[in-house]
Amino acid sequence: MSKFKEFQKALTKAKNVVVLTGAGVSAESGIPTFRDKNGLWRQYEFMDLATPEAFESNPALVWQFYQYRRIMASKAKPNASHYAITNLEQKLLSNNISFTLITQNIDELHKRANTKNIIEMHGSLFRFKNEFYEGFKEDGINVYSNYNLNICDVLTEKTCAPNISNDELINIDISKLPHDENGVLLRPAVVWFGEALDYEIMNEINSTLDKCDFLIIIGTSGVVYPAANFARLVQINYGVVSEFNLEPTSLSKSFDYFFQGKSGDLLPEAFDIQF
Ligand code: BJW
């Protein structure tokens, strides 16, 4: 008997399903997670560069880091986890069960795997915004989609490489970084530590979680707020919470279902539900 049987039975009884994903979902596409041993770019921990303070003190360094990740995400392909989530969305919708994917990832691999109802809560590598603007949800006068990898002469695959000797490091003048047509410095439209999430996105998330009766958490360490609190919000409303992760997290024991392993190995079978 499949180890997923009880989980699948409960899932088919749900009305409003929410999937929350983190970096672990993209690990099998070759994209390093934040808190594993590969989470280094040059000598920097990812976490030290994902802050407004880092951008303020050295915008060129932070731009190089994000341009490196833009190039890496563009080359990566969605993996079995991304496609299993897309299949789940289609199956649930055709059985009148609502589905929302909330992702903390900024690599757009879920979009490329064709999942439709996605909330990108931490923004996207493929959007830029005016450095003074707080929102990031919609393209507008301060937010710009940009899939071009040649964004400026100083941010190339070579100058943004993760392993580069001191001799190869180039000094980048701020004026050479991406600017908007009014001369305002642009930055990646992502949420750094200490920054608030886009107000409209947070509202959308809150109303989605309010209705949610079945939450599936995949590949996130669950230490970064506000996402770290989503399971609790669903549990308060007596919703079911399930988790798929390579390693148990601090909350795994409090969930209704926990499945340990690579999400690319687990999800295709787990989400193969029959109505
Ligand atoms: C696999 C696998 C495989 C591997 N298969 N699994 C309340 C209490 C305390 C602090 C706070 C609080 N509220 C807010 C804060 C401050 C802060 C925070 O949470 N700090 C904590 C560290 C304590 N939060 C914020 O600042 C947030 N802002 C906010 O809340 O505004 C209001 C406010 C501000 C200030 C004070 C109070 C309120 C904003 C957080 C933004 C996070 N930004 C980043 C960078 C985004 C851009 C970028 O990508 O560069 O988001 S940080 C980074 O962490 C990134 C990720 O999305 C996020 C989560 O990481 P994730 O996805 O969980 O990755 P990992 O590496 O941690 O885990 C990977 C997991 O996968 C592991 O479990 C593996 O086992 C697993 N795995 N391979 C399955 N194949």
CA angle 227, 233, 237 (to 5 degrees): 155
| pLDDT category of residue 138 using cuts at 50, 70 and 90 | confident
Query: Ligand 1 centre and the CA of 102: distance in Å?
Result: 13
Query: Ligand 1 centre and the CA of 225: distance in Å?
Result: 6
pLDDT digits (tens, 9 = 90+) for 100-133: 999 999 999 999 999 999 999 999 999 999 998 8
pLDDT at 72 over 90: yes
pLDDT over 90, % of the chain: 84
pLDDT at 1 over 70: no
Q: Which residues line ligand 1 (CB under 6 A)?
A: 22-24, 27-28, 33-35, 50, 104, 106, 122, 190-196, 219-221, 223-226, 245-247, 249, 262-263
Provide the whole-model pTM.
Answer: 0.96
122 among known catalytic residues: yes
- Atom 39 in ligand 1: which residue has the minimum CA distance? 193
pLDDT at 80 over 90: yes
pLDDT at 219 over 80: yes
Q: CA 160, CA 65: separation in Å to the nearest integer?
A: 6
Mutate to test the pocket of ligand 1, among 34, 102, 120 (most ligand atoms within 8 A of CB): 34
Q: Tell me the one-letter amino acid at 202.
A: M
Q: What is the pLDDT of residue 59?
A: 96
Q: CA 173, CA 155: separation in Å to the nearest integer?
A: 11
pLDDT digits (tens, 9 = 90+) for 19-71: 999 999 999 999 999 887 766 788 888 888 999 999 999 999 999 999 999 99
**Which atom, in ligand 1's list, is nearest to the CA of 105?**
57
Query: Ligand 1 centre and the CA of 99: distance in Å?
Result: 23
Q: What is the pLDDT of residue 38?
A: 66
Query: Ligand 1 centre and the CA of 52: distance in Å?
Result: 15
Q: CA 22, CA 32: separation in Å to the nearest integer?
A: 11
Mean pLDDT, the chain, integer: 94
DSSP-derived secondary structure for 229-247: GHHHHHHHTT-EEEEEESS
Q: Specify the range with the lowest mean pLDDT, choosing from 162-171, 215-224, 247-256, 265-274.
A: 162-171
- Atom 72 in ligand 1: which residue has the minimum CA distance? 221
| Beta-strand pair 143-145/123-130 | antiparallel
Smallest Cα–Cα separation from 82: which of 117, 109, 45, 103? 109
Q: What is the pLDDT of residue 39?
A: 67
